[in-house]
Structure 1
Amino acid sequence: MTFKLDIEATLKKLLAQEDTDNDKKITVEDQGPKSFTITSEEGHQHTLSGTYHLSNLLQELILAKENGDTVAFISLDHLEEPPVKRISRMIREYYWNGLTRTMDASGIESLLKDSKNETLDEIAVLIVYVPYHDEQAYSYYSELQKKLPLEVVRLPEIISPEYVRGLNDKPGILSLKLELVNGEIKGVPFVVPGGRFNEMYGWDSYFESIGLILDDRIDLARAMADNFQYEIEHYGKILNANRSYYLTRTQPPFYSSLISEVYIKTQDKSWLESHLKTAIREYETVWMVPGKRLTGFKLNRYLAEGLGKPPEAEAGHFNHVFAGYAKEAGMSILEYEEAYSKGDIKNPALDKYFVHDRSVRESGHDTSYRLEGICADIIPVELNAFLYKYETDFAKLIQGEFNNSFNYNGKNYTSEYWEHKASERKELMDSLLWNDTEGMYFDFNIATGAQTKFVSATLFTPLWAGICDAEQAASSVKNGIALLKEKGGIASCDEASRGAISEHRPQKQWDYPNGWAPHQMMIWKGLKQYGFEKELQELVYRWLYMITRNAVDYNGTIPEKYDVVIATHKVFAEYGNVGTEFQYITKEGFGWMNASFQYGVSLLDEGLIKNLNDLVPPDQLF
């Protein structure tokens, strides 16, 4: 049945009746009657009941309005759509498009309105930094500068930490790949996380691509791999994100996984060959340089190379760090911070602090007590699992697609070469990071010469990478899930590891009680690979139930993260929760959360999907 509705009249009546807190959403917190009658073209009346159906009506009216219509023809199938089907459809049909950006003329205008584009002028001026050797980009943006408020800056051939620090007062966007399409230059598209994150992020892009591939958006997954390649070729690394202040900082490595998964769909061998060469280059020049991200233990760490404090942090974020030094120097905190940031004040203790701080941000886990103040001294379980996956991916691709012979940079690589690398890494990880007594992997602190014993969701990443033997896998699953399983899935760490929270030790967003999509997705894949089907189904269900329940109750909200202990999107630690601030309808969700929903649905048994549509709480099932 289809209902013909006057959009403005229906919106006005619906919101006046049901949006009692005037936030332009219909949620469980509104105190309206939760009942609204609509009339079909044939005069048939139908009463919608409950928050979910009423918020669906609101969303469908807004979609029609944004399409330029004054009258909406709305199907009852959409208004009373089962929630799992609706969330998945909205992600597939709307959210990916809402999150897609380009760095060409059509995409630059939205960047001009971005909240990170700080300017003293009333009219925003966007600084676009272009790599030294990309003549096409420099020419393109220079022409664009004549039409739009841009400032185009060519980067030097060698980008030093000193140079990057000098850009702190003039932050800007870094160009990504441009290509010629039918005689016109177009930006290779990328998917942003959402909300205030209006740029291409490193590990977010991989996890988003899992959902994109499931939704048959191979074009976007492939495009993000192409932009990764551009970043490595022109900036020397996959960037934390394409902002000027990230030039010295990478993120957790997933490039080999991305190109492998895209190739399965495209079977484009020349594309794969090009990207495999770039991935080997990244492995060797970003991760395996001795004394930098490769430690003396022959395992890896995060080490963001830069100077001073991370400029993207909001004003006052480091007041507690600078306060004592400022007092000792007889200066205000702001004066001391500015002098230190410019290099006018030398402070080795602060230098060390910020090496760790920037490295935490490079790790993607910004921030967590697992890494705070020690990150550059830590050999993390997950980073070495990711690099083991690189090594085994290289071996499989060279063996299966290149007849066990692959030439890069004058050297011939075989699968045996990479298998040996992976075997060596596993031996080192088992020696340094595996704990027989606890039956789990732990990070290793180089400075103290001991494991940290911080119980983190990252302990499962060796299952994702295929490192564990059967006994290690069983032990990790048994012990890890017992410590980390909560109402809404796996917490980032256990409460004991996080420790007591106080005014002087505030909650961190990557710690208990919060849960994050990339952790869940890697855990699910690891459980599936090792045959832990019962545990897989339960953990997927708990996570999807939390997403579904919150979306049903809160007008379709799909946020950046959740408090998994009480299974809510109402998370206020540090930076709040991106993806919760919108009116009428979310048009983006949040990148890796969208992907986790699509991936979870692909793994869940049909019977459990029915339970999910009926919103059966997990504790009634498991």
Structure 2
Amino acid sequence: MQPTAKSEPAAAIPLSPGPAAGGSMVPRTAPATPDGAGAVPGPAAAPGKVHAAARPALVTHRDCPPPHALPGCACADMLSPAARYCELFVDVQHSGLFADSKTFPDCIPNCDPDLIVARYRESRDTPGFSLADFVQAYFTRATVPDSHYVSDPASTLREHIDSLWPVLTREPVAHPPQSSLLPLPHRYVVPGGRFGELYYWDSYFTMEGLAGSGRGDLIVEMARNFAYLIDHYGLVPNGTRNYYLSRSQPPVFALMVDLLEREQLASAIDFLPQLRREYDFWMDGADGVRPGHAHRRVVCLPDGAVLNRYWDDRPWPREEAFLEDIETAMRSGRPHHLVFRDLRAAAESGWDFSSRWLDSPSTPGGQPADLATIRTTAMLPVDLNALLWHLEMRLATLCEQAGDAAAQAYRTAAQRREAAIQQYMWDGSAGAFVDYDWCRGAPRPCLTAATVMPLYLGLAQAPQAQAVARAVTERLLDAGGLATTECTSGQQWDHPNGWAPLQWLAVRGLARYGHDDLAREIAQRWLATVASLYMHECKLVEKYRIRQSAGRAKGGGGGEYPLQDGFGWTNGIASALMALYGDVPATCGADDMAP
């Protein structure tokens, strides 16, 4: 057990005037926070006036992001919808005009946004004003490709996946003026469904599948898009919308570069500048953080060891999940800006949402957990830190090749991180790698599939890999593949759901250490699950229920939105696994292959 970390003292800070008329400079004191980030004021809790039949709001337009750029970014696309449209944005989100909170942030303005806001303020209190009519007049709903694609029931799973790549591919077209969509210079593959933009960690697993389908052309173009994002914004955002620019996702750009080199599509050293800049993003503040404190994504433990966490620079409700975040904060009993930041940090993890980040349940078999107990910024995730170790190692190697003297510094950083991971994140009694709660000085008890990341990257020692294989077999392996966690919380990144990227990490990680039989077993069970649902519904979906069920496989549950079809990384990992283990027979389903 390690000593509990101390928090930063509270700091009095001036609050920037909001985008609404009449904003004033007033001091606001940020409460001391367990994550040591008492430097950003959060939104006030008092309800404000809301127009157009919207109910009273916890968050008003004065609590939305101020219209200035985030640190390190200097691009024209910085102004997110909440900052552009002020109270109009809040009123629309509260109005119920759209079933999905993501719809309005993705809308395209039909004229200058400043003019739209001015006309809204002029007309909103006039007799007979209709918010629905106003929105319809001044905005165009972003085109979401509908499900016009009809699968051919006679197609094999492989044929179906190969035919889907063109459907999910987007061309770089004229950027809609002042919309939330970030422009890209090359083609890319989207996940599908409501996710019509490029997403960061999704894309790595999609690219592995593109390799299995022989689509090296798309792999190169997607990698170039990510390099472009790093060059222009200083990070790879969660997705290519400006409301995602305050957070990233698991740093897998180095894995994309490895893939390019493995497939002989490009040299890794060509991407050295972008790899260095992404590392700088994740390590911002590391030189000055004191033991027991944190700065953004960097945590310095009491003994001086430096590890990383997930974070977001905006302590407001996510624009794409506005109402959901407000409702969660209202239930929490905590300062709302801390809840918003923890929700956003979980979105940066890609595991949104999971018992990994919640206070309950902390052990298997708990009751459904309340998302309001979220504490993401208090957790040091093992998979994030393993990825950053890999990035440090790759930077050391590439700098050596380039004759750059920084190579030794990166290698030393990797060695220190490896020692810290072994000290804080290896649970010998459980035989698994685990997350670490740095605020409480204790490892997290619930086993998750993140335990396989050190194997995937070659960080684990052989005896540790043996122990992880045993833990995975006993605690995470289910009839339809690998469980996301052993906890059943009601969140979508928990049991009984299975997700394609975690199957890939487990299969390749176990095989790397010689556990080929278990790797093959996981791959075959997962492919059988995917094939079963495809056989009955002629589609692939975002996540799957991996418990044994009579008749056929089913899509997973939970989450903030309906189950999505498409689906980028499911297609990708099925393609990659079939390239390794052979295609699934057309008549094969989960019932045929599950034990």
CA contact (8 A) 1:542 1:618 kept: no
CA contact (8 A) 1:101 1:192 kept: yes
Q: CA RMSD in A?
A: 2.6
Matches within 5 A, 1:195-594: 195-266=193-264, 268-269=266-267, 272-290=268-286, 291-297=295-301, 298-313=306-321, 315-316=323-324, 318-322=326-330, 349-372=335-358, 373-398=374-399, 402=401, 405-407=402-404, 412-414=405-407, 416-494=408-486, 497-498=487-488, 507-554=490-537, 556-566=538-548, 568-580=553-565, 589-594=566-571
Q: Which amino acid aligns with 1:279?
A: L
CA distance 1:91–1:62, change in 2 (3 Å): closer
Matches within 5 A, 1:31-110: 86-92=156-162, 94-105=163-174
Residue 134 of structure 1 is matched in structure 2 by none
Cα shift readout 1:122-179 (whole Å, capped 9, x = no counterpart): xxxxxxxxxxxxxxxxxxx5xxxxxxxx434xxxxxxxxxxxxxxxxxx6112223xx
CA distance 1:236–1:553, change in 2 (3 Å): same
CA distance 1:570–1:265, change in 2 (3 Å): closer
Give, in angstroms, the shift of residue 256 of structure 1: 0.8
Between the aligned partners of 1:79 and 1:307, the Cα distance in structure 2 is 47
Between the aligned partners of 1:616 and 1:540, the Cα distance in structure 2 is 13
Give, in angstroms, the shift of residue 498 of structure 1: 3.4
Give, in angstroms, the shift of residue 430 of structure 1: 0.7
Between the aligned partners of 2:468 and 2:263, the Cα distance in structure 1 is 32
Structure with higher helix content: 1
CA distance 1:618–1:406, change in 2 (3 Å): farther
Superposition TM-score, scaled by structure 1 size: 0.63
Between the aligned partners of 1:469 and 1:461, the Cα distance in structure 2 is 13
Between the aligned partners of 1:151 and 1:475, the Cα distance in structure 2 is 54
Structure 1 residue runs without a partner (length 5+): 1-58, 64-77, 106-140, 142-149, 153-170, 178-187, 326-347, 500-506, 581-588
* Corresponding residue SS for 1:318: helix
CA contact (8 A) 1:560 1:577 kept: no
Give, in angstroms, the shift of residue 192 of structure 1: 0.6
Q: Which amino acid aligns with 1:88?
A: R
Between the aligned partners of 1:439 and 1:510, the Cα distance in structure 2 is 22
CA contact (8 A) 2:282 2:298 kept: no
Between the aligned partners of 1:323 and 1:62, the Cα distance in structure 2 is 43
Give, in angstroms, the shift of residue 288 of structure 1: 4.8
CA distance 1:406–1:395, change in 2 (3 Å): same
CA contact (8 A) 1:557 1:579 kept: no
Cα shift readout 1:187-221 (whole Å, capped 9, x = no counterpart): x1111111110001010111111011222211211
CA distance 1:516–1:200, change in 2 (3 Å): same
Give, in angstroms, the shift of residue 620 of structure 1: 6.0
* Corresponding residue SS for 1:151: coil
1:151 aligns with 2:134: no
Superposition TM-score, scaled by structure 2 size: 0.66
- 1:601 counterpart (569, 572, 578): 578
Matches within 5 A, 1:18-29: none
Between the aligned partners of 1:62 and 1:475, the Cα distance in structure 2 is 45
Between the aligned partners of 1:550 and 1:529, the Cα distance in structure 2 is 29
Give, in angstroms, the shift of residue 243 of structure 1: 0.8
Residue 20 of structure 1 is matched in structure 2 by none
CA contact (8 A) 2:426 2:433 kept: yes
Between the aligned partners of 1:618 and 1:389, the Cα distance in structure 2 is 38
CA contact (8 A) 1:561 1:577 kept: no
Matches within 5 A, 1:170-189: 172-177=180-185, 188-189=186-187
Structure 2 residue runs without a partner (length 5+): 1-146, 287-294, 359-373
Question: Which of 253-262 and 211-220 deviates more?
Answer: 211-220
Residue 53 of structure 1 is matched in structure 2 by none
Between the aligned partners of 2:493 and 2:433, the Cα distance in structure 1 is 19
Cα shift readout 1:560-592 (whole Å, capped 9, x = no counterpart): 000111363333312355444xxxxxxxx3100
CA distance 1:285–1:227, change in 2 (3 Å): same
CA contact (8 A) 1:260 1:393 kept: no
**Higher Cα radius of gyration:** 1
Cα shift readout 1:349-379 (whole Å, capped 9, x = no counterpart): 1111111111000000011121141111110
Q: How many equivalent residue pairs?
A: 419
Between the aligned partners of 2:266 and 2:191, the Cα distance in structure 1 is 27
